[in-house]
Protein backbone atom coordinates (compact mmCIF):
# COMPACT_ATOMS: atom_id res chain seq x y z
CA UNK A 1 0.00 0.00 0.00
CA UNK A 2 1.25 3.49 -0.89
CA UNK A 3 2.30 5.35 2.26
CA UNK A 4 0.66 8.73 2.83
CA UNK A 5 2.16 11.87 4.37
CA UNK A 6 0.47 15.16 5.18
CA UNK A 7 2.79 18.17 4.85
CA UNK A 8 1.54 21.53 6.10
CA UNK A 9 2.60 24.62 4.16
CA UNK A 10 3.60 22.65 1.05
CA UNK A 11 2.89 25.54 -1.31
CA UNK A 12 6.47 26.82 -1.18
CA UNK A 13 9.95 26.37 0.21
CA UNK A 14 10.91 23.33 2.26
CA UNK A 15 7.40 21.83 2.31
CA UNK A 16 7.09 21.97 -1.48
CA UNK A 17 10.49 20.35 -2.05
CA UNK A 18 9.84 17.76 0.67
CA UNK A 19 6.68 16.87 -1.26
CA UNK A 20 8.77 16.27 -4.35
CA UNK A 21 11.36 14.21 -2.45
CA UNK A 22 8.72 11.99 -0.83
CA UNK A 23 6.82 11.50 -4.08
CA UNK A 24 10.09 10.38 -5.69
CA UNK A 25 10.28 7.71 -2.94
CA UNK A 26 6.82 6.42 -3.83
CA UNK A 27 4.78 8.28 -1.20
CA UNK A 28 1.44 10.00 -1.74
CA UNK A 29 1.55 13.51 -0.27
CA UNK A 30 -1.38 15.50 1.04
CA UNK A 31 -0.31 19.11 0.57
CA UNK A 32 -2.15 20.95 3.35
CA UNK A 33 -2.05 24.57 2.24
CA UNK A 34 -3.62 27.89 3.11
CA UNK A 35 -3.85 28.90 -0.56
CA UNK A 36 -4.76 25.90 -2.74
CA UNK A 37 -4.44 27.78 -6.05
CA UNK A 38 -0.92 28.80 -5.12
CA UNK A 39 -0.12 25.22 -4.15
CA UNK A 40 -1.43 23.89 -7.47
CA UNK A 41 0.65 26.42 -9.42
CA UNK A 42 3.77 25.59 -7.38
CA UNK A 43 3.23 21.84 -7.80
CA UNK A 44 2.91 22.23 -11.57
CA UNK A 45 5.93 24.46 -11.77
CA UNK A 46 8.21 21.83 -10.28
CA UNK A 47 6.47 19.00 -12.14
CA UNK A 48 4.68 17.12 -9.35
CA UNK A 49 2.46 14.49 -11.01
CA UNK A 50 -1.20 15.10 -10.00
CA UNK A 51 -1.81 11.43 -9.13
CA UNK A 52 0.93 11.48 -6.51
CA UNK A 53 -0.46 14.37 -4.50
CA UNK A 54 -3.70 15.76 -3.09
CA UNK A 55 -3.98 19.46 -2.36
CA UNK A 56 -6.24 20.31 0.59
CA UNK A 57 -7.11 23.62 2.19
CA UNK A 58 -5.75 24.22 5.70
CA UNK A 59 -5.45 27.54 7.50
CA UNK A 60 -3.51 26.76 10.66
CA UNK A 61 -4.38 30.17 12.07
CA UNK A 62 -7.95 29.16 12.87
CA UNK A 63 -8.86 26.35 15.23
CA UNK A 64 -12.06 25.57 13.33
CA UNK A 65 -10.00 25.42 10.12
CA UNK A 66 -7.74 22.77 11.64
CA UNK A 67 -10.71 20.71 12.83
CA UNK A 68 -12.40 21.04 9.42
CA UNK A 69 -9.23 19.89 7.66
CA UNK A 70 -9.03 16.75 9.81
CA UNK A 71 -12.67 15.85 9.02
CA UNK A 72 -12.07 16.37 5.29
CA UNK A 73 -8.87 14.36 5.34
CA UNK A 74 -10.74 11.45 6.93
CA UNK A 75 -13.34 11.65 4.19
CA UNK A 76 -10.61 10.83 1.64
CA UNK A 77 -10.49 7.34 3.15
CA UNK A 78 -6.69 7.24 2.95
CA UNK A 79 -4.39 5.88 5.67
CA UNK A 80 -1.92 8.22 7.36
CA UNK A 81 1.72 7.20 7.80
CA UNK A 82 3.36 10.54 8.53
CA UNK A 83 2.58 14.15 9.39
CA UNK A 84 5.09 16.94 8.77
CA UNK A 85 4.41 20.10 10.79
CA UNK A 86 6.20 22.46 8.43
CA UNK A 87 4.15 25.61 7.78
CA UNK A 88 5.21 28.82 9.45
CA UNK A 89 4.90 32.54 9.12
CA UNK A 90 7.62 35.03 9.98
CA UNK A 91 6.58 38.68 10.11
CA UNK A 92 9.54 40.55 11.61
CA UNK A 93 8.38 44.03 10.60
CA UNK A 94 5.00 44.15 12.28
CA UNK A 95 4.63 47.01 14.71
CA UNK A 96 1.53 45.59 16.37
CA UNK A 97 0.37 42.00 16.66
CA UNK A 98 -2.06 40.52 14.18
CA UNK A 99 -4.76 38.31 15.70
CA UNK A 100 -6.30 34.96 14.81
CA UNK A 101 -10.13 34.72 14.77
CA UNK A 102 -9.85 33.45 18.36
CA UNK A 103 -7.91 36.62 19.28
CA UNK A 104 -4.48 34.99 19.67
CA UNK A 105 -1.25 36.58 18.40
CA UNK A 106 -1.09 35.27 14.84
CA UNK A 107 2.44 33.89 14.42
CA UNK A 108 2.18 31.74 17.56
CA UNK A 109 -1.38 30.80 16.56
CA UNK A 110 -0.27 29.58 13.11
CA UNK A 111 3.15 28.12 13.82
CA UNK A 112 2.41 26.52 17.19
CA UNK A 113 -1.27 26.37 18.23
CA UNK A 114 -2.44 25.17 14.81
CA UNK A 115 0.13 22.38 14.72
CA UNK A 116 -0.54 21.47 18.36
CA UNK A 117 -4.22 20.92 17.61
CA UNK A 118 -3.54 19.19 14.28
CA UNK A 119 -1.00 16.80 15.81
CA UNK A 120 -3.32 15.89 18.66
CA UNK A 121 -6.27 15.25 16.38
CA UNK A 122 -4.25 13.09 13.97
CA UNK A 123 -2.57 10.89 16.62
CA UNK A 124 -5.44 8.43 16.31
CA UNK A 125 -4.98 8.17 12.52
CA UNK A 126 -1.19 7.86 12.76
CA UNK A 127 -1.50 5.23 15.46
CA UNK A 128 -2.92 2.78 12.93
CA UNK A 129 0.17 2.90 10.65
CA UNK A 130 3.00 0.37 10.66
CA UNK A 131 5.89 2.87 11.00
CA UNK A 132 4.17 6.17 11.88
CA UNK A 133 6.16 9.38 12.17
CA UNK A 134 5.33 12.92 13.23
CA UNK A 135 8.06 15.31 12.12
CA UNK A 136 8.23 18.97 13.17
CA UNK A 137 10.44 21.64 11.62
CA UNK A 138 12.56 23.18 14.33
CA UNK A 139 15.23 25.78 13.98
CA UNK A 140 18.65 26.68 15.22
CA UNK A 141 17.39 30.09 16.34
CA UNK A 142 15.26 28.37 19.00
CA UNK A 143 18.16 26.39 20.46
CA UNK A 144 20.39 28.40 22.78
CA UNK A 145 22.89 25.48 22.81
CA UNK A 146 24.01 26.86 19.45
CA UNK A 147 25.35 30.22 18.34
CA UNK A 148 22.30 30.85 16.14
CA UNK A 149 20.08 30.52 19.20
CA UNK A 150 21.92 33.19 21.17
CA UNK A 151 21.65 36.04 18.68
CA UNK A 152 20.14 38.94 20.61
CA UNK A 153 18.36 40.51 17.61
CA UNK A 154 15.58 41.12 18.48
CA UNK A 155 15.98 38.67 21.43
CA UNK A 156 16.63 34.95 21.85
CA UNK A 157 13.64 32.63 22.15
CA UNK A 158 12.39 32.64 25.73
CA UNK A 159 8.99 31.55 26.97
CA UNK A 160 9.44 32.97 30.49
CA UNK A 161 7.04 31.31 32.90
CA UNK A 162 4.34 31.28 30.19
CA UNK A 163 2.78 34.39 31.75
CA UNK A 164 1.11 35.34 28.44
CA UNK A 165 -0.49 31.92 28.00
CA UNK A 166 -1.65 31.90 31.61
CA UNK A 167 -3.31 35.28 31.01
CA UNK A 168 -5.28 33.84 28.05
CA UNK A 169 -3.02 35.06 25.20
CA UNK A 170 -5.57 37.59 23.93
CA UNK A 171 -5.35 41.37 23.58
CA UNK A 172 -3.41 43.05 25.18
CA UNK A 173 -1.22 39.95 25.63
CA UNK A 174 0.98 39.34 22.58
CA UNK A 175 3.88 37.16 23.71
CA UNK A 176 4.08 33.77 25.40
CA UNK A 177 6.19 35.30 28.19
CA UNK A 178 3.72 38.17 28.60
CA UNK A 179 6.28 40.83 27.63
CA UNK A 180 5.73 43.58 25.02
CA UNK A 181 5.35 42.45 21.38
CA UNK A 182 8.54 41.68 19.44
CA UNK A 183 7.54 40.06 16.14
CA UNK A 184 10.90 38.39 15.39
CA UNK A 185 10.97 36.91 18.87
CA UNK A 186 7.37 35.74 18.53
CA UNK A 187 8.55 33.58 15.60
CA UNK A 188 11.49 32.16 17.56
CA UNK A 189 9.25 31.53 20.58
CA UNK A 190 6.74 29.69 18.40
CA UNK A 191 9.47 27.41 17.06
CA UNK A 192 10.81 26.70 20.55
CA UNK A 193 7.26 25.84 21.61
CA UNK A 194 6.97 23.47 18.61
CA UNK A 195 10.19 21.72 19.62
CA UNK A 196 8.92 21.35 23.19
CA UNK A 197 5.64 20.03 21.81
CA UNK A 198 7.47 17.30 19.91
CA UNK A 199 9.39 16.22 23.02
CA UNK A 200 6.19 16.15 25.04
CA UNK A 201 4.40 14.16 22.32
CA UNK A 202 7.25 11.66 22.60
CA UNK A 203 6.96 11.51 26.40
CA UNK A 204 3.19 11.06 26.37
CA UNK A 205 2.53 8.92 23.32
CA UNK A 206 5.57 7.15 21.92
CA UNK A 207 5.40 4.04 24.11
CA UNK A 208 1.64 3.78 23.81
CA UNK A 209 1.31 4.39 20.07
CA UNK A 210 4.68 3.56 18.53
CA UNK A 211 4.65 6.91 16.73
CA UNK A 212 8.15 8.29 16.16
CA UNK A 213 8.24 11.99 17.10
CA UNK A 214 11.17 14.03 15.83
CA UNK A 215 12.21 17.57 15.02
CA UNK A 216 14.84 18.67 12.54
CA UNK A 217 16.91 21.64 11.48
CA UNK A 218 17.53 21.12 7.77
CA UNK A 219 20.15 23.91 7.55
CA UNK A 220 19.77 27.55 6.63
CA UNK A 221 17.51 27.59 3.60
CA UNK A 222 18.11 31.29 3.22
CA UNK A 223 16.23 31.86 -0.03
CA UNK A 224 12.76 30.51 0.75
CA UNK A 225 9.73 32.82 0.82
CA UNK A 226 9.85 32.61 4.65
CA UNK A 227 11.86 35.82 4.54
CA UNK A 228 9.41 37.65 2.25
CA UNK A 229 8.41 40.11 5.01
CA UNK A 230 12.02 40.92 5.94
CA UNK A 231 13.60 44.11 4.55
CA UNK A 232 14.65 43.81 0.89
CA UNK A 233 18.32 44.37 1.66
CA UNK A 234 18.18 41.49 4.15
CA UNK A 235 16.62 39.24 1.52
CA UNK A 236 19.55 39.98 -0.82
CA UNK A 237 22.37 39.81 1.72
CA UNK A 238 21.21 36.90 3.89
CA UNK A 239 21.59 34.11 1.28
CA UNK A 240 24.96 35.52 0.19
CA UNK A 241 26.12 35.72 3.81
CA UNK A 242 25.00 32.15 4.55
CA UNK A 243 26.68 30.84 1.37
CA UNK A 244 29.96 32.72 1.62
CA UNK A 245 30.54 33.60 5.26
CA UNK A 246 28.87 31.09 7.59
CA UNK A 247 28.72 28.19 5.09
CA UNK A 248 25.31 27.37 6.52
CA UNK A 249 23.32 27.68 3.28
CA UNK A 250 21.27 24.71 2.13
CA UNK A 251 19.25 24.66 -1.11
CA UNK A 252 15.51 24.06 -1.05
CA UNK A 253 15.80 20.69 -2.87
CA UNK A 254 18.41 19.47 -0.36
CA UNK A 255 16.31 20.64 2.59
CA UNK A 256 13.35 18.76 1.05
CA UNK A 257 15.47 15.59 0.80
CA UNK A 258 16.43 15.94 4.46
CA UNK A 259 12.80 16.19 5.52
CA UNK A 260 12.02 13.14 3.38
CA UNK A 261 14.86 11.23 5.06
CA UNK A 262 13.44 11.96 8.50
CA UNK A 263 9.96 10.90 7.34
CA UNK A 264 10.84 7.77 5.41
CA UNK A 265 14.35 6.48 6.06
CA UNK A 266 14.81 3.66 8.61
CA UNK A 267 17.92 5.47 9.93
CA UNK A 268 15.62 8.16 11.39
CA UNK A 269 13.24 5.86 13.26
CA UNK A 270 14.35 7.06 16.73
CA UNK A 271 11.72 8.97 18.65
CA UNK A 272 12.44 12.03 20.78
CA UNK A 273 15.39 13.15 18.64
CA UNK A 274 16.25 16.56 17.11
CA UNK A 275 18.11 15.89 13.83
CA UNK A 276 20.68 18.25 12.43
CA UNK A 277 23.30 18.24 9.67
CA UNK A 278 25.29 20.92 11.46
CA UNK A 279 25.57 24.62 10.83
CA UNK A 280 28.48 24.53 8.35
CA UNK A 281 27.50 22.43 5.41
CA UNK A 282 29.94 19.87 4.08
CA UNK A 283 29.47 17.50 1.15
CA UNK A 284 28.08 14.15 2.25
CA UNK A 285 27.66 15.15 5.88
CA UNK A 286 25.62 12.66 7.89
CA UNK A 287 22.75 13.68 10.17
CA UNK A 288 23.27 13.51 13.90
CA UNK A 289 21.08 13.82 17.00
CA UNK A 290 21.63 17.39 18.18
CA UNK A 291 21.36 18.23 21.86
CA UNK A 292 18.95 21.00 22.77
CA UNK A 293 19.13 23.74 25.35
CA UNK A 294 17.68 23.29 28.85
CA UNK A 295 14.96 25.73 27.74
CA UNK A 296 13.76 23.07 25.32
CA UNK A 297 14.43 19.92 27.32
CA UNK A 298 13.03 20.70 30.78
CA UNK A 299 10.31 18.05 31.11
CA UNK A 300 8.29 19.84 33.79
CA UNK A 301 8.14 22.99 31.66
CA UNK A 302 7.13 20.98 28.59
CA UNK A 303 4.26 19.45 30.57
CA UNK A 304 3.12 22.84 31.80
CA UNK A 305 3.30 24.32 28.30
CA UNK A 306 1.30 21.36 26.98
CA UNK A 307 -1.47 21.81 29.56
CA UNK A 308 -1.75 25.56 29.00
CA UNK A 309 -1.83 25.11 25.22
CA UNK A 310 -4.38 22.29 25.34
CA UNK A 311 -6.74 24.64 27.17
CA UNK A 312 -6.21 27.51 24.70
CA UNK A 313 -6.86 25.32 21.64
CA UNK A 314 -9.97 23.80 23.20
CA UNK A 315 -8.68 20.28 23.82
CA UNK A 316 -9.77 20.27 27.46
P1 LIG B 1 8.02 29.26 3.30
O2 LIG B 1 7.52 30.62 3.60
O3 LIG B 1 8.53 28.96 1.93
O4 LIG B 1 6.90 28.17 3.61
C5 LIG B 1 6.00 28.34 4.65
C6 LIG B 1 4.70 27.68 4.27
O7 LIG B 1 3.80 27.85 5.38
C8 LIG B 1 4.03 28.29 3.05
O9 LIG B 1 3.48 27.25 2.28
C10 LIG B 1 2.93 29.13 3.67
O11 LIG B 1 1.79 29.29 2.86
C12 LIG B 1 2.57 28.26 4.85
N13 LIG B 1 1.71 28.97 5.80
C14 LIG B 1 1.89 30.20 6.32
N15 LIG B 1 0.83 30.53 7.08
C16 LIG B 1 -0.03 29.48 7.03
C17 LIG B 1 -1.29 29.23 7.60
N18 LIG B 1 -1.94 30.13 8.33
N19 LIG B 1 -1.89 28.04 7.35
C20 LIG B 1 -1.29 27.12 6.57
N21 LIG B 1 -0.09 27.31 6.00
C22 LIG B 1 0.52 28.49 6.22
O23 LIG B 1 9.13 28.96 4.40
P24 LIG B 1 10.19 27.77 4.61
O25 LIG B 1 10.01 26.72 3.61
O26 LIG B 1 11.50 28.41 4.76
O27 LIG B 1 9.77 27.26 6.06
C28 LIG B 1 9.20 25.99 6.30
C29 LIG B 1 9.51 25.58 7.72
O30 LIG B 1 10.91 25.42 7.89
C31 LIG B 1 9.07 26.58 8.79
O32 LIG B 1 8.54 25.86 9.89
C33 LIG B 1 10.37 27.26 9.21
O34 LIG B 1 10.31 27.71 10.55
C35 LIG B 1 11.32 26.09 9.07
N36 LIG B 1 12.72 26.44 8.92
C37 LIG B 1 13.12 27.23 7.87
C38 LIG B 1 14.46 27.52 7.73
C39 LIG B 1 14.95 28.36 6.62
O40 LIG B 1 16.14 28.69 6.64
N41 LIG B 1 14.14 28.73 5.63
C42 LIG B 1 15.46 27.02 8.69
C43 LIG B 1 14.91 26.20 9.73
C44 LIG B 1 13.59 25.93 9.82
P45 LIG B 1 1.48 30.71 2.13
O46 LIG B 1 2.38 30.71 0.98
O47 LIG B 1 0.04 30.62 1.79
O48 LIG B 1 1.80 31.79 3.10
Q: Tell me the per-residue pLDDT of 11-39, one tens digit each, with 9 for 90 and over.
A: 999 999 999 999 999 999 999 999 999 99
Kindly report, residue by residue over 44-95, the tens digit of the pLDDT.
999 999 999 999 999 999 999 999 999 999 999 999 999 999 999 999 999 9
Q: What DSSP element (H or E) covers 286? A: none
Q: Check pocket membership of 143 for ligand 1, CB cut-off 6 A.
A: no
In the reported structure, the alpha carbon of residue 208 is separated from the centroid of ligand 1 by a whole-number distance in angstroms of 31
- Rounded CA gap, 267 and 249, in Å? 24
In the reported structure, the alpha carbon of residue 226 is separated from the centroid of ligand 1 by a whole-number distance in angstroms of 6
Q: Can you give the length of the chain in residues?
A: 316
pLDDT of residue 2: 96
pLDDT of residue 71: 98
pLDDT less than 70: residues of the chain: none
Q: Check pocket membership of 190 for ligand 1, CB cut-off 6 A.
A: no
Q: Check pocket membership of 87 for ligand 1, CB cut-off 6 A.
A: yes
Q: How are strands ordered across the β-sheet holding 4-8?
A: 53-57, 28-33, 4-8, 82-85, 133-137, 212-217, 273-276, 288-289
pLDDT of residue 24: 98
pLDDT of residue 162: 98
Amino acid sequence: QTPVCIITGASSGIGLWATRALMARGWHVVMACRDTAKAEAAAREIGLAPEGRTIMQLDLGTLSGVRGFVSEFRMLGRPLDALVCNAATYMPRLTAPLRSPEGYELSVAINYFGHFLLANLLLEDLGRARDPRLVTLGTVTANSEEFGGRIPIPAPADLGDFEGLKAGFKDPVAMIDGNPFKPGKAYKDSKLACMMMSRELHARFHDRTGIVFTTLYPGCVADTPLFRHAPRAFQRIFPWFQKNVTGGYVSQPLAGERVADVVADPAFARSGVHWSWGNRQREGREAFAQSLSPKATDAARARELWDLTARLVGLE
